[in-house]
Amino acid sequence: MSRIVLGVGGGVAAYKSALLLRALTERGHDVRVVPTASALRFVGAATFEALSGNPVSTEVWDDVPEVAHVRIGQTADLVVVNPATADLLARAASGRADDLLTATLLTAHCPVVFVPAMHTEMWLHPATRDNVATLRRRGAIVLPPAVGRLTGPDSGPGRLPEPADVAALLQVVLDGGTLAHDLAGTRVLVSAGGTREPLDPVRYLGNRSSGRQGWALARVAAARGADVTLVAANVEDTAPFGCRVVPVGSAGDLRSAMAEHAPAADVVVMAAAVADFRPTAVADTKMKKGSGSEPTAVALTRNADVLAELVAARPEGQLVVGFAAETGDADDDVLGHARAKLARKGCDLLVVNDVSAGQVFGRPDNAVTVLAADGTVTTVPTGPKDLVATGIWDAVVPRLRTRR
Ligand code: CTP
């Protein structure tokens, strides 16, 4: 359990802070809500008090004997401001302490995360950009806003990320993962999920990939500033904030989507589980039992190796990251097989999952080893898939800089 201060700014997106509060308490954290006076015009103090089980105040004049404006910040493990309005970012950047939230920001020794939400014009204004740069320079994490529908009919960058995304990213910070703005300006293409190879209009051959590790890689890359395209094979989950999603079904669809989007990418991550084989013939109508043509076997045809094709066609400077789910056997151990695969596929990095004990599929936790073509081995220990994603990006980022 961690002690989290949830600062709430006065924007209409304040209503989503109640859902974030709920998500954080469900993860077992003790949350103290510190809204601004304007935030309470959007959501009442009673909502925050009931959901957090803690008192709510906005002014340094409440609870004076406890010296709350100093104590709340000093004792927190994490401060998150959600939503962070343009005004709140300005007040934080200039070091104001004119209410309980800004005073708390000045006394916090822990990581501080701002989750901005405002109109696009305000987000893009040089004053806001300078304030964000100042806060980042001082060590605060300022997440990029999502792109989408804003208050009223307009849309663009400035939307508050969904509470589930924010809660997952805050857990990364609490677990010690990096959410630096180090992928800014980087175009990332991630494939995730598992392909389905049709047999007839209702049946397919599939695999057990949940897409969660690819989702986490996309979400963390977006949080670290990347421009992310996510080619998603049969994943039902809500798209992570900040990512353009291209839905695909079969290995053939995935191959076309990757070929279309890869030329513009600085990094390509092939986290999808791509079927190696597809049924040679796809029936136009449902195969019926008892009919004269009842099938007795399914003939299979080899699919293209998408990763190998991407490596062969990659533009100068592009980094290609493959995945491998391996088991040890009589011929070699997991890393031995993985090294051979890295050499065979020709990618720059290979993220290796040991699936010997059937772990990984559909689980919230993962552990991987990242092998680099230069022989470097990085172990990313067991943790939630978003934390593992930060470990993978930590291995990618230094290689990007040297290639650009
Ligand atoms: N991959 C791909 N196209 C395929 C099969 C796999 O692009 N037809 C990619 C996966 O997305 C992953 C990597 O190749 O990034 C390794 O996948 P894996 O299934 O472990 O490798 P295979 O080449 O199928 O090797 P094998 O089944 O022989 O272990």
Distance from C-alpha of 338 to C-alpha of 239, rounded to nearest angstrom: 30
List the residue whose alpha carbon is closest to atom 27 of ligand 1.
276
Of ligand 1's atoms, which has the minimum distance to the CA of residue 304? Answer: 8
Q: How far is CA 364 from CA 174, 191, 240, 245, 385, in A?
A: 17, 18, 16, 22, 6
pLDDT of residue 403: 47
Q: Distance between CA 25 and CA 272 in Å, rounded?
A: 32
pLDDT of residue 362: 65
The candidate with the shortest Cα–Cα distance to 38, out of 6, 85, 79, is 85
Ligand 1 atom with minimal separation from the 251 CA: 8
Q: Which residues are catalytic?
A: 207
Q: Is the CB of 257 under 6 A from ligand 1?
A: no
Task: Find the 305 Cα to ligand 1 centroid distance in Å.
Answer: 7
Q: Could you tell me if the CB of 352 is within 6 A of ligand 1? A: no
Rounded to whole angstroms, the Cα distance separating 231 from 261 reads 9
Q: Is the distance from the beta carbon of residue 214 to the nearest atom of ligand 1 less than 6 Å?
A: no
CA 216 to chain CA centroid, nearest Å: 4
- Please state, in angstroms and rounded to a whole number, the distance separating the CA atoms of residues 117 and 83: 6
pLDDT at site 178 = 86
For residue 292, the one-letter residue type is G
Q: Is the CB of 13 under 6 A from ligand 1?
A: no
For residue 308, give the ligand 1 atom closest to its CA.
7
- pLDDT score at 364: 75
Would you say the CB of residue 270 lies under 6 angstroms from ligand 1?
yes
Q: Which two tokens stand for residue 130?
A: 């300078």
Of 205, 207, 276, the one to substitute when testing ligand 1's pocket (max ligand atoms within 8 A of C-beta) is 276
Distance, CA of 239 to CA of 241 (rounded, Å): 6
CA 75, CA 107: separation in Å to the nearest integer? 9
Half-sphere exposure of 391 (CA within 13 A, CB side): 23
**Residue 401 is inside which H or E element, if any?**
helix 385-403
Q: How far is CA 68 from the centre of its chain?
A: 34
Does the beta carbon of 113 lie inside 6 Å of ligand 1?
no
3-state SS track over 191-228: EEEECCEECCCCCEECCCCCCHHHHHHHHHHHHCCCEE
Ligand 1 neighbour 325 (Cβ under 6 A): yes
Determine the distance separating the centroid of ligand 1 and the alpha carbon of 360, expressed in angstroms. Answer: 16
Residue-range domains of the chain with CATH:
3-174 (3.40.50.1950), 187-401 (3.40.50.10300)
Strand duo 146-149 + 319-326: pairing = unpaired
Which atom number of ligand 1 is nearest to the Cα of residue 275? 8
Contact 277, 301 (CB under 8 A): yes
Q: Where are the beta strands (DSSP E) in 180-339?
A: 187-193, 197-198, 204-205, 227-233, 243-248, 267-270, 277-279, 300-302, 319-326
Check: CB of residue 284 under 8 Å from CB of residue 368: no
Instruction: Give yes or no for a contact between 102 and 111, defined as CB atoms under 8 angstroms apart.
Output: no
Ligand 1 centre distance from Cα of residue 353 (Å): 12
Nearest to 389 by CA among 308, 307, 269: 269
C-beta 310 within 6 A of ligand 1: no
Q: What is the pLDDT of residues 39-64, one digit of tens each?
A: 999 999 999 999 999 999 888 777 76
307 lines ligand 1 (CB under 6 A): yes
Bridge-based pairing state of the strands 243-248 and 227-233: parallel
Query: Which residue has the CA at smallest separation from atom 9 of ligand 1?
Result: 307
Tokens of 310: 């991407």
Tell me what pLDDT residue 155 has.
77
Task: Check residue 302 and give its pLDDT.
Answer: 98
| C-alpha–C-alpha distance, residues 70 and 224, integer Å | 30
- Cβ contacts of residue 241 below 8 Å, gap of 6+? 146, 161, 162, 165, 219, 222
Low-confidence ranges of the chain (pLDDT < 50): 403-404
371 C-alpha to ligand 1 centroid (Å):
15
